[in-house]
Structure 1
Amino acid sequence: METNHGHGHLVIIGGHEDRTHDKAVLQRFVELAGGPEKKIVVISAASGVAEKMWAIYDQAFADLGVARRAHLRIESREDANADTVLRELADAGGIFMTGGDQKRLMANIGGTAFDRELHAAYLKRGVCIGGTSAGASAMSGHMLATGHAGTTPEKGAVNLGAGLGLVRGVVIDQHFSERHRLSRLLTVVAQNPYLQGAGIDEDTALVIERGVGIEVIGQGAVTIVDGRTMHSNMASAASGECPRLVDVRLHLLPTGTRYALSGPGEDGDVPAALRDFINTVTKRIDYHENH
């Protein structure tokens, strides 16, 4: 997938990306934001230690040659509606959301002027938006808000909330392989079979170019769980019970995977089983559909 700064990109990171050595994932984010000469804005609203989080990314982006770096201190909905905050977004090439708690992030920014400007930056100006861990989960319209990862799927083990809606029809989970979260993602699609699940490993990112295609970068893989053809007894299962799930599709996309919708990517034509997922995540949502 070629770099094209006009379409808008999402860099959805599974957490614990390298920030001190080669910084491959963050380097790609900077490239897609237009290069080190562009302004990078960091939002640490998900974190309970915002200044510490900012210091980490300030240093990482400085090491990558980014001279124009800004920290948006959003600790309340009043902050997210402040003109001073919105002005920082006006000339940003890249907007990066740190880890922490996605519920805290959405409580502070969901439905605010910042939320609207974030969508406008992506959908109208083609800005690159990155998010790691909690910042990754919050990008989806249906956000994984709470849930534990047991050894098997479990009815009632997860709860969804409203996310930013930069990606629709897909629930994003992070720290995926490292925290053994396949059972959690299976629970999500069993309870919500119209959704697909995307589990992203640490130091790994699913990169989405709007209207074009996807790529996987970093050190791990992205796991796609598709339960739309599934047969399940989830509706009749008791709370806490492991449901029966038959004909669930699982796709593993290791780092280096690239697929483009218009013509073959580096891995050839998009497989039929993946085409709907890629169509869904790259869909050219109109700005007015979200607002």
Structure 2
Amino acid sequence: MSNQPQEKYGHLVIIGGHEDRQHGMEILTRFVELAGGADANIVVITAASQVADQMWEMYDQAFGNLGVECRSHLLITSRQDANSEEFVRRVDQATGIFMTGGDQKRLLALIGGSALDAAMHVALKIRGATIGGTSAGASAMSGHMLATGRVETLPEKGSVSLGAGLGFLHRVVIDQHFSERQRLSRLLTIVAQNPYLQGIGIDEDTALVVALGSGIEVLGQGAVTIVDGRTMITNVADIKDRDTPELIDVRLHLLPAGSSYQLPTADTEPGKRLPPQLLDILENITKRNPIS
């Protein structure tokens, strides 16, 4: 028999921003439940924010109100911090890791490729920890991250650029504050220029919860929009920058709060069976990617 520890895949809680932190706190309650409830050990990473202390105070209070006693702040202001043995040790012990909002480029500049980044992958894919992220913390979760992009009325070639994200999910790109800031055209621009990727837009006070290798659920007050351009016909390669491309046969899926689907198995409940049109998307989103 092998003495290797069995891998235990965890959860991602991907939040579109402005989640309720004072009243019912549905999304943060679910994050805490997945992280171990009152016994959870939660660390909060505020590296995306330039007002880190204020951000920590807000989540310290929220998680405290949810009964979590073991909660702490990882104040990361440099890559030296992100490579410190102390911070890596604290992530190694955490059952819940939460990334706040701010600027996803700042977050990746500080922690991308660091020892802390590697420890987060081990936590998720080996120890079964839960990783949450809101706003910038949500966008940073995918391998391809939205770095810059104007919001235009129509899709516009060249108006959006991507960067490297943390890579907990692959072949997707995540946008947040989606309906509230009318970002569908921005997501269409990304998919037009990168049909390999599926676009995921998450509304405010809404979360896409991903159980790796298992399924998804949508929580909160809004919806998750998925844009799939793999079968589309487009002239984006032939038009000039700032022109609007033709996009034919782009597929859009809307999953409102309350949606829940599992990958099909012999034990899958009939009401949870995934529509065939979403099967490969769900397989992609929930794929158990190896530690890189």
**8 Å CA contact retained: 1:258, 1:265:** no
Q: CA RMSD of the aligned region, Å?
A: 1.1
Query: 2:192 maps to what in 1?
Result: 190
* Equivalent residue in structure 1 for 2:231, among 226, 229, 233: 229
Aligned to 1:85: 87
- Dislocated runs of 4+, deviation >2 Å: 262-268
Contact 1:258 1:266 in 2 (8 A): no
Query: Secondary structure in 2 aligned to 1:90?
Result: helix
Q: 1:265 to 1:150 in 2, by over 3 A?
A: farther
Cα distance in 1 for partners of 2:137, 2:168 equals 12
**How much does 1:37 deviate?**
1.1
Answer yes or no: is the 8 Å Cα contact 1:259–1:265 preserved in 2: no
Structure-2 separation of matches of 1:59 and 1:26: 12
Query: 1:130 — aligned with what?
Result: 132
- From 272, 276, 281, give the equivalent of 2:276: 272
Cα deviations across residues 143-185 of structure 1 (Å, max 9, x unaligned)? 0000011110000010000000000000000000000000000
Identical positions, percent: 63
TM-score when normalising by structure 1? 0.96
Distance in 2 between residues matched to 1:127 and 1:145, nearest whole Å: 27
Rounded to whole Å, the distance in 2 between the matches of 1:59 and 1:179 is: 28
Distance 2:67 2:37 in 1: 9
The answer to whether the aligner puts 1:215 opposite 2:217 as a matched pair is: yes
Distance 1:266 1:219 in 2: 25
How far does residue 246 in structure 1 lie from its aligned partner after superposition?
0.2
On the 8 A contact 2:8/2:125 being kept in 1, the answer is no
Higher deviation after alignment, 57-66 or 261-270: 261-270
Q: Choose which of 167, 174, 196 in structure 1 pairs with 2:169.
A: 167
The corresponding residue for 2:3 is: none
Counterpart Cα distance in 2 of 1:223 and 1:237: 27
Q: Please give the alpha-carbon distance, in whole angstroms, between the structure 2 residues aligned to 1:68 and 1:266.
A: 39
**Matches of 1:157 and 1:37, distance apart in 2:** 45
Q: Retained in 1: the 8 A contact 2:8–2:126?
A: no
Q: How many residues align?
A: 284
CA distance in 1, matches of 2:89, 2:105: 25
**1:282 aligned residue (277, 281, 286):** 286
Structure 1 portions without partners, runs of 5+: none
Could you give the per-residue CA deviations for residues 173-211 of structure 1, whole angstroms, max 9, x where no partner exists? 000000000000000000000100000000000000010
Question: Equivalent residue for 2:101?
Answer: 99
- Match among 118, 129, 147 for residue 116 of structure 1: 118
Unmatched runs of 5 consecutive residues or more in structure 2? 1-6
Q: Which residue of 2 aligns with 1:200?
A: 202
Counterpart position of 1:177:
179
Q: Which residue of 2 aligns with 1:143?
A: 145
Pick closer, same or farther for the CA change 1:157–1:59 going to 2, 3 Å.
Answer: same
Describe the SS at the equivalent of 2:12. Answer: strand
Which residue of 238, 259, 262 corresponds with 1:257? 259
State the TM-score, normalized to the length of structure 2.
0.95
Distance in 1 (alpha carbons) for counterparts of 2:270 and 2:24: 24
Retained in 1: the 8 A contact 2:264–2:274? no
